[in-house]
Chains A and B, each alone.
Chain A
Amino acid sequence: MSERKNDQFQRRNRPPSEKIIDIGFKNLAIAMASMVAVILFGILLVIFLGSIESMGRYGLRFLVTSDWNPVTDDYGAFTAIYGTIVTSVASLMIAVPLGVGTAIFITENIIPQNIRELIGIMVELLAAIPSVVLGLWAIFVMEPFIRPFLTSLNNSYSWIPFLSTEPVGPALAPAILILVVMILPIITAISRDSLNQVPAKLREAAYGIGATRWSTIFNVILPAAISGITGGVLLALGRAMGETMAVTMIIGNSNNFSLSLLAPGNTIAAMLANQFGEADGSQVSSLMFAAFILMILTLSVNIFAQWMVKRLSLKY
């Protein structure tokens, strides 16, 4: 008995193999974590190196001209940059009220909990639908359906530059609508989470001093949740800028510049999807340059979003 006890309390060193495994595992984990940085810098480096030729040849002129001619090797990405910014900003202007409104609707006690949860799940499932399927739906269902409305818009308001051309099919406007469908789930989900995190005390206090539901929402709940909502909106903006498939399928892929939202246009992502596979020579370099611009745009929006969330977050 006492012999066994002694055996138990004897000092045992860790076998060296255990130490080696332990240290090796830690270093392996560090190496794998570093892969994120490697990939991120790798992406920047590859795209930058690929675009040097085009950068040297066109410089900043690339940003403001809209020729895209593989025969004469003249490239300018203005149409695509205009398309990227216009579609993402316009879709954001539609999706933000819709998304935040939906988030308010499913965090307030207006309708029973079950139905609210169902709406929440359905919006999340919408995010799971592949964008190529949304694009297919946009081509064959949505665009023919909305074309009469766009035509009548054009007939009545053709003096507005944004509505100045007759809709003939693929164009910026349906691309904006399909982008709304794609970024709505992000805005709704993030807004809902930040609204849910507002302490119940704040709401109770507002109700206690006689505020109505909506003055509570506008004056207390929304300001308290604004950091999360802003972050979500900016993330959605980044997503909208880089969204490729659905937009490529419905935007028309035209490099002729037109202010009108009813005319076919292009975005950087759509241009890449369309031309990169078949491009050679200086067209590859020009596409890389466009990809570099897209990368810079989305990176700055994303970094700004993260900074904004930190900056605006209120502490309770």
Chain B
Amino acid sequence: MNLFYKHTSRRNLSNTILTLITGLFATLAVLPLILVILYVLIKGASQININLLTQLPEPPGDDLNSGGIGNAVIGTFVVTGIGALIAIPIGVGGGIYLAEYSRNGPFSKFIRFGTNVLSGVPSIIAGVFVYGVIVSTKVIFGSNFSGLAGGIALSILMLPTVIKTTDEGLKLVSDELRKGALGIGASKFITITRITLPAALTPIATGIVLALARAAGETAPLIFTALFSFYWAEGSEALLEPIATLSVLIYNFALEPYEAQNKLAWAASFVLVLIILTTNIISRFISKYASSK
């Protein structure tokens, strides 16, 4: 009988083995990110040049050195912007209701539940919904496939995230601030817009930026709402016409048999991943910096 640690005893051995297994699992979990980023860098970044970013994509063909993704880069910002313009006011408003006005009654419980359910709705279903309501009925000035329809589809996907981050951000604001403002006679509207919303700005803004980054990469809701276009979005009715986006360009061009198109898909992937990852990392950094202050 001695009290030294025995490496070979059954319990110590099984402990070591299980620890090694989880270590292996963690490595496997990180591996795809490294591989995907590596390949996007290798195959995409090498092609990035000014022509690629300013030219229009060419119709499918074998010409390796022509064509660009300029209209898709702009289109991604336009469609995501439309989605944000719709989702942010509605989402922040809904979040304000849940955090500031609701008394945990059946209505607010249902809205919270509905927000969770809506965030689980597959993105392709949002596309089908917008197709059914807007595209096939041509309800917006008689246009069917349009950037506007694509933006609306994206806003459905952003909405639950914006509501949740607003709700949670406002709940973090200490109640003393709220009571203090109401106590010196401020109305509820003034309390919310001047006191609690500014106090919760950082978490809400971070959440919204993350939701935007996520929406910028969405493809499924766009393939039959915003469709795709080989031209610049210009003119007064640009938003009512089909519009190119990076994500749809990747989808369409990845399935083309021509190498030129596949190369453009990789280049577009690089730009898209770059936009999304930098947004993610910056907003994480800002929220960490703000919370440590």
Contact = CB atoms under 8 A, between A and B. Distances in A.
B50 interface: no
Contacts of A58: none
Given A137-B39, A269-B122, A29 B94 contact: yes
B276 A32 contact: no
Interface in A33-48: 33-37, 39-40, 42-43, 46-47
Contacts of A126: 29-30, 32-33, 36
B261 to A, nearest CB: 12
Interface of B: 11-12, 14-15, 18-19, 21-23, 25-26, 28-30, 32-37, 39-40, 43, 89-94, 96-98, 100-102, 108, 110-111, 113-118, 120-129, 131-133, 156, 159-160, 163, 187-189, 192, 213-214, 216-220, 223-224, 227, 247, 250-251, 254-255, 262, 265-266, 269, 272-273, 276-277, 280-281, 284
Contacts of A214: 14-15, 18-19
A105 B25 contact: yes
Contacts of B219: 130-132, 244-245
Contacts of B265: 136
For the complex, would chain B's binding face be called helix, strand, loop or mixed by DSSP majority?
helix
Contact of B122 (A125, A241, A276): A241
A213 B15 contact: yes
B33 A213 contact: no
Given A106-B26, A132-B251, A133-B272, A32 B266 contact: no
A55 interface: no
Given A47-B125, A98-B25, A104-B22, A128 B113 contact: no
Contacts, number: 262
B30 A119 contact: yes
Interface string A113-145: 000000101110110111111111101110000
A298 interface: yes
B3 to A, nearest CB: 13
Given A19-B187, A32-B90, 10 more contacts: A33-B102, A43-B125, A47-B128, A97-B25, A128-B276, A129-B277, A181-B32, A242-B125, A276-B127, A276-B131
